[in-house]
Amino acid sequence: MNALKPSERMKIPRNHAFEQSPEERIHNFKEVSLGFDETLALTEASRCLECKNAVCIEGCPVNVDIKSFIQLVTEKKYVEAVQKIRESNYLPAICGRVCPQEEQCEKVCTLGKKHEPVAIGKLERFVADYEMKAGAFITPVIEEKRKEKVAVVGSGPSGLTCAAELAKKGYQVTIFEALHEVGGVLRYGIPEFRLPREILDLEVERIRGLGVSIYTNFVVGRTATVDELFNDWGFSAVFLGTGAGTPHFMGIPGENLNGVYSANEFLTRVNLMKAYKFPDYDTPIRLGKEVAVIGGGNTAMDGVRTARRLGAEKAYLIYRRSRSEMPARLEEIHHAEEEGIEFILLTNPVRIIGNEKKNVVAIECQRMELGEPDASGRRRPVPIPNSEFVLNVQTVIEAVGQSPNPIIQATTPGLETTKKGTVIADETQLTKRKGVFAGGDLTRGGATVILAMRDGKTAASAIHNYLQNLHS
């Protein structure tokens, strides 16, 4: 138990994790945040008010028992603490790094009403890393082996979570991944400086440790259809977690010039293919001295900070609204600023300009102002007449949204989609097709890792119910 009185706890200021300095980190791809050490973790945990009504738990999309795990930290029972988290969330080392806690558990933290909230995310990361360093992870015992086979399509956060939950229940789970490495957006999208690959590799190994088999290089819809998974492969249920991988383009002139990338391509080349190690690795990337990234979300931040690390002298982030409308996490915006990213806000590109060799040399933009709120509730950006200006850049990276890849929808009869191309699923993640469940960005169209994980978890219990009823 925490020996401090609530009034004493409130006096302790929120602790900040160690970080690589901006000057240092813009020259490497190592993790920016170095996390808490034990002293900081203990001090931070002692700030928790241990509220009777622990609203943080409600604030967490997968309802991690935050209060209990923080109490265990105060007792220095770090391994027990991470085990407590893992009861609700099989990927704590990942969530402790990439979850937008400021929008979830920390947003509702009682301490945050008058002071700063407890740094729940950093504590989660601390106990997960502690367990890793101590080699203290124990694979959960699977009590009852079941004979039913479940296919999980896509190895991103929703698929990994769904697979882990079903494997723990004893099902025979197979993950099918289109790329040659496992992890989906955690692998190709999120840069190593936010999520080191050793962490991802370890979490994937732990999922294999539950008996889950993983086929890479397997495109469901091409290598085998969903129907074939049922009929030829003998699966009793299918979970689709194929994400939102198809990049949008703005539709402005000059987008096919050399030097224009979708953020997906740019990040995939660097993260998955390790183009930053070219020519030791084979995949090249082209980057000018001046780079513009279009967009205001986490993908845009990842893109512009990656460009900076690859050696861009000027790395601009062009966003059509103002800072307060940016969908990116605050921490990422803050880190980007520290790294010398120049934000060009209330600005929208209208044309990309090329030379005779069709290489990008500049981007023409216009200034915007905010008008009335639109359907998203954010104020709509409106162009200011005659405000055009030209910015010299040699690389343009568009991070203006993604939609689901249509391959599975096109090859799976009975799977209904919305106009945006997202797959329709009910509150149990069941699609319109019997035995087929879906979640993550495939049904949401572009959300967060933790919401994808929640869908995977919800689907796993729905699949369990479905398979139970199938035999009764």
Residue 179 in the binding site for other proteins (CB under 8 A): yes
Q: Identify the helix (H) or strand (E) that includes residue 84.
A: helix 78-86
Q: What are phi and psi of 357, to 5 degrees?
A: -90, 10
Binders in 214-273 for other proteins, by CB under 8 A: 216-219, 222-224, 245-247, 249, 251, 255-256, 258-259, 261-262, 264-265, 268-269, 273
What is the maximum span of the chain, computed from C-alpha positions, in angstroms?
72
In terms of Cβ atoms closer than 10 Å to its own Cβ (0-12, 13-18, 19+), residue 133 is exposed
* Number of helices and strands in the chain (H, E): 20, 18
407 binds other proteins (CB under 8 A): yes
Q: For residue 373, report the phi and psi dihedrals to the nearest 5 degrees.
A: -60, 140
Site for other proteins in 3-42 (CB under 8 A): none
Q: Which is nearer to other proteins, 255 or 342 (CB)?
A: 255
What tokens appear for 211 in the block? 């008996």
Nearer to other proteins, 275 or 467 (CB): 275
What number of residues does the chain have? Answer: 472
First to last CA, the chain: 47
Alpha-carbon distances of 188 from 267, 341, 400, rounded to whole Å:
6, 22, 17
User: Total residues at the site for other proteins (CB under 8 A)?
Assistant: 42
Minimum CB–partner distance for residue 72 and other proteins (Å) = 40
Distance from C-alpha of 115 to C-alpha of 108, rounded to nearest angstrom: 12
Q: How far apart are CA 435 and CA 151, in angstroms?
A: 11
Query: Minimal distance in Å, beta carbon 218 to other proteins?
Result: 7
User: Nearest approach, Cβ of 221 to other proteins (angstroms)?
Assistant: 9
Nearest-approach distance from CB 347 to other proteins, in angstroms: 23
**Minimum distance from residue 190 beta carbon to other proteins (Å):** 15
Nearest distance from residue 469's CB to other proteins, in Å? 32
What are the residue ranges of helices labelled H in 19-59? Answer: 22-25, 38-45, 55-59
Beta carbon of residue 154, minimum distance to other proteins (angstroms, whole number): 11
Task: Write the interaction track for other proteins spanning residues 281-320; mark x where CB under 8 A is met and - where it is not.
Answer: xxxx-x----------------------------------
Token code pair at residue 84: 């407590």
Nearer to other proteins, 213 or 217 (CB): 217
Which residues of this protein are in contact with other proteins, per CB under 8 A? 178-180, 188, 216-219, 222-224, 245-247, 249, 251, 255-256, 258-259, 261-262, 264-265, 268-269, 273-274, 277-284, 286, 357-358, 405-407
